[in-house]
Amino acid sequence: MSRVSLTRYLVEQQREHGHIPSQLRLLIEVVARACKHIAISVNKGALGEVLGSADTENIQGEVQKKLDVISNEVLIEANEWGGHLAAMASEEMDSIHVVPHRYPQGEYLLLFDPLDGSSNIDVNVSIGTIFSVLRKVGHHRGVSEEDFLQPGRAQAAAGYCVYGPQTTLVLTVGEGVAMFTLDRETGSWVLTQDRVQIPADTKEFAINMSNLRHWAAPVRQYIDECLAGKDGPRSKDFNMRWVASMVADVHRILTRGGVFLYPWDQREPTKPGKLRLMYEANPMAFLVEQAGGMATNGEQRIMDIMPTALHERVSVMLGSKNEVQRVTDYHRQAA
């Protein structure tokens, strides 16, 4: 059987659906190439002196790891000269990075979490890169943060790369979800699964249980019922997984189903959640919906939230449709 590369997949998508303009194709290829570079650094580990802290802080007050900084630089350098982008935004940069004037300005905006799951870098557990692509709307000259403040449903493409036992790129351009495995011998991304579908039901949930005492009542109710197992109202036993890399948890859900929750909690009542809307929740919500799943903040569809700031946070519930529907219903009943 002939192998389908990422390039061929994109060319065929462009031909069949005509909605992947060449700038978007280039953008995705460039991001995929950057992820290969990041994968090489990740794999070197201690040998490449990429482990440990960079001793700097990002705008969210988190200490940056060396790989957070390296991955951010790799993505920026790869993407700024191709003519496909107007600007980029990242978890690791306070404000947007406009493409320098010496390069042509493209029509797309790229957002990324360069290294997701930073607490797992030094312990050799799966980590990843998450990205989201928006179009710059309007014909005004220049680009500002306001251009990025679009709801997730406006995304032109989204995806992630997971650096795990295999290096896998997962992508949507709005026509389903495809997975590509990195063939290290040829350096090529090979299509290994197309039209990914998340089963509507599941017996597996992912949540950081150490926060249990801080959760709101609807989340507690949902998890209590899962924990009650066969004898409880759900009449089935549930399993639990928590990798603490959103990329790895979402990858498991896209592969075999499940539900992922990082809900609002009472520790900081004014903070909507931990995860970031624009470069964590939105791209993952796009992938999950494209795979037949559901993603909400307990009240509304994640992709319908109108962002007001680049680094805005959000409560996240995503995965198997019937479970996300259930926990969202509990929130609505409590409101």
Q: Provide the binding-site residues for ligand AHG, judged by CB under 6 A.
A: 62, 91, 113, 116-119, 208, 244-246, 262, 274
Beta carbons of 92 and 65 less than 8 angstroms apart: no
Applying CB under 5 A, among 116, 147, 204, 265 the residue interacting with Mn ion is: 116
| Residue number, 30 or 75, with CB nearest to Mn ion | 75
Q: How far is the CB of 284 from Mn ion (least distance, A)?
A: 10
Q: How far is the CB of 116 from ligand AHG (least distance, A)?
A: 4
Partner in contact with 245, chosen from ligand AHG, Mn ion, none, beta carbon below 5 to 8 Å by kind: ligand AHG
* CA–CA separation, 122 and 70 (whole Å): 15
| Residue number, 113 or 323, with CB nearest to Mn ion | 113
Partner in contact with 119, chosen from Mn ion, ligand AHG, none, beta carbon below 5 to 8 Å by kind: ligand AHG
Partner in contact with 208, chosen from ligand AHG, Mn ion, none, beta carbon below 5 to 8 Å by kind: ligand AHG
Of 143, 128, 165, the residue nearest 287 (C-alpha): 128
Query: Is 113 near Mn ion (CB under 5 A)?
Result: yes
Q: 217 exposed, middle or buried (CB, 10 Å; 0-12, 13-18, 19+)?
A: exposed
Q: Which of residues 31-70 bind Mn ion (CB under 5 A)?
A: none
Q: Look at the alpha carbons of 168, 56, 309, 216 in this order and tell me if their dihedral is positive or negative.
A: positive
* CA–CA separation, 318 and 260 (whole Å): 5
* CA–CA separation, 101 and 81 (whole Å): 10
| Residue number, 90 or 296, with CB nearest to Mn ion | 90
Q: How far is the CB of 291 from ligand AHG (least distance, A)?
A: 18
- Interface with Mn ion by CB under 5 A: which range of 106-114, 184-192, 256-264, 297-305? 106-114
| Residue number, 60 or 186, with CB nearest to Mn ion | 60
Q: How far is the CB of 324 from ligand AHG (least distance, A)?
A: 16
Q: Provide the token pair at 237.
A: 């036993």
Q: How far is the CB of 96 from Mn ion (least distance, A)?
A: 17
| Residue number, 67 or 196, with CB nearest to ligand AHG | 67
SS3 296: strand
Positions of E strands within the chain: 53-57, 63-65, 85-90, 97-98, 108-116, 127-135, 157-163, 167-172, 177-183, 188-193, 204-206, 239-240, 259-262, 275-276, 294-296, 313-314, 316-319
Q: How far is the CB of 119 from ligand AHG (least distance, A)?
A: 6
* CA–CA separation, 216 and 266 (whole Å): 7
Token look-up 């004037």 returns: 101
Partner in contact with 244, chosen from ligand AHG, Mn ion, none, beta carbon below 5 to 8 Å by kind: ligand AHG
- Interface with Mn ion by CB under 5 A: which range of 89-97, 229-237, 259-267, 292-300? 89-97
* CA–CA separation, 97 and 194 (whole Å): 33
Q: How far is the CB of 65 from ligand AHG (least distance, A)?
A: 8
Count residues near Mn ion (CB under 5 A).
4
SS3 88: strand
Q: How far is the CB of 23 from ligand AHG (least distance, A)?
A: 27
For strand 239-240 and strand 204-206, is the pairing parallel, antiparallel, or unpaired?
parallel
Applying CB under 5 A, among 30, 64, 91, 288 the residue interacting with Mn ion is: 91
Give the H or E element holding residue 33. helix 22-44
Q: Provide the token pair at 183.
A: 């063939």
Given the rule CB under 5 A, which residues bind Mn ion?
Answer: 91, 113, 115-116
